Amino acid sequence: MKKTVLIIYSILCLISQTLTAQKIAPSKKAIFIILDGISSDALEKVYTPNLDDISKAGGYTRAYVGGEKGTHTETPTISAVGYNSLLTGTWVHKHNVWGNSIKNPNYNYWNLFRVIENYDSTLQTAIYSTWLDNRTKLIGEGIKDAGNIKLDYAFDGFEHDTIRFPHDKGNAYISKIDEHVSKEAERHITKNGPDLSWVYLEFTDDMGHMFGDSPQFHEAIKSADKQVGRIWNALKLRQEKFNEDWMIVVTTDHGRKKEDGKGHGGQSDRERATWIVTNQPTNSYFNNTPGVVDIMPSILNHLKIEMSKVQTNEIDGTSFINPISISNLHLQKVNKQIKLTWKSYGKNRKVKVYVSTTNNFKTGGKDTYKKVGSANSSDEIASFKVDKLPSEFYKIVLKTKLNSLNKWIVIEK
């Protein structure tokens, strides 16, 4: 009898321990905010206490958009192009959104929302946005080729509601919509805490275009900071009340023209110069000028969600929160050899090098990779013979235990 009681008691203890353990692991949540068209120098000039507060918890870094200048990854410093680089973790040579008209996105490169909806459709997704196309065209909600996904909550499209938000020459209506959107984001997140959400605010870019480097532009940055603060407070509240671990990433989609701060779209340093703020602890790659494409893999790391290996092979970004072994891959074809250089982190690890001469992924097909050799991560340099693989196109993937990198060689005739 005594023995039975002891067994029951032990079982109860085990159950209670398991329950406590479950309670300890907080649920992972992520939100990213795009504040349109603020070059890093402009942001650094203006007092932004809320962004400062977030970066105190994690970090602030200068970052870049525009791909690798002068190569096939070079990407216009245009809004929708930048948003899609963030969403897909790839540059324009893959995602194929070249301008704000979003003509022909290549949905074979999955966006963040599609990845997480596919991983677990019970995860809650939300968008709060001053531009409708972000949901309907870039995420491609309800579009078959984009995976026919549906976000759980959308608060957008107000730029088309000319009764509530009559359009005016000074674009004050956009400022009002940003207020409206950020207040709803605060309310909805406080109440529901979606697993992945996107806030997009536009007014800063409008003031940049109209007035360039000016008090108006700087005031708009201050207002955007207040709007971010609203959302940041909601996250802090949720972290206090619920067992949740939030990652917030705030960034911009492009810088501004050097001369007057008005336009953008080109490849000047100032147009490419962006920034990233996050509350999560970062790895040392974060301070090595990350790109907008690095945000997607970082958010997936935080959410502990992995894509398929085939998809991971295509991501141009590198996580700035998890430990990594390698970054900044550069390739060069010299005679019959491919020369590789990269930057290494942490302890020496084995790097396996794979090559494919096809690019069927682009059209929804499969590529066959051939292992051409291996190297030590700390060497930061290697070369491999490809004389048996004659081609004008090489897709290279470097794999280590912690992360992988990829790049193409396109030989121009």
- CB of 262 or CB of 333, closer to Zn ion: 262
Give the Cα separation of 91 and 109 in Å (integer): 10
- CB of 195 or CB of 206, closer to Zn ion: 206
Q: Which of 61, 77, 79, 318 binds Zn ion (CB under 5 A)?
A: 79
Q: Does 279 bind Zn ion (CB under 5 A)?
A: no
Q: Which of 156, 225, 253, 271 binds Zn ion (CB under 5 A)?
A: 253
Contact 64, 291 (CB under 8 A): yes
- CB of 147 or CB of 255, closer to Zn ion: 255
Taking contact as CB under 5 A, which single stretch among the options 76-84, 146-154, 216-224, 390-398 is the one that binds Zn ion? 76-84
Give the Cα separation of 18 and 57 in Å (integer): 31
Q: Helices 203-211 and 215-241 sit at what angle, rounded to 10 degrees?
A: 170
- CB of 200 or CB of 286, closer to Zn ion: 200
Taking contact as CB under 5 A, which single stretch among the options 106-114, 253-261, 294-302, 337-345 is the one that binds Zn ion? 253-261
Give the Cα separation of 305 and 115 in Å (integer): 9
330 Cβ partners below 8 Å, 6+ apart?
Answer: 340, 341, 342, 407
Give the Cα separation of 336 and 339 in Å (integer): 10
Contact 312, 77 (CB under 8 A): no
CA-CA distances (angstroms) from residue 103 to 90, 96, 106, 209? 17, 9, 10, 23
Taking contact as CB under 5 A, which single stretch among the options 74-82, 86-94, 133-141, 148-156 is the one that binds Zn ion? 74-82
- Least separation in angstroms between residue 170's CB and Zn ion is 18
- Residue given tokens 């870049």 in the structure block: 64
Neighbours of 171 (CB within 10 A): 18
Q: Which of 36, 184, 213, 316 binds Zn ion (CB under 5 A)?
A: 36
Task: Looking at residues 203 to 222 of the shown chain, list those that interact with Zn ion (rule: CB under 5 A).
Answer: 205
Q: Does 37 bind Zn ion (CB under 5 A)?
A: yes
- CB of 75 or CB of 279, closer to Zn ion: 75
- CB of 116 or CB of 138, closer to Zn ion: 138
Q: Which residue has the CB atom at the shortest distance from Zn ion?
A: 79
Kindly list the residues in this chain that would bind Zn ion in the complex (CB under 5 A): 36-37, 79, 205, 253
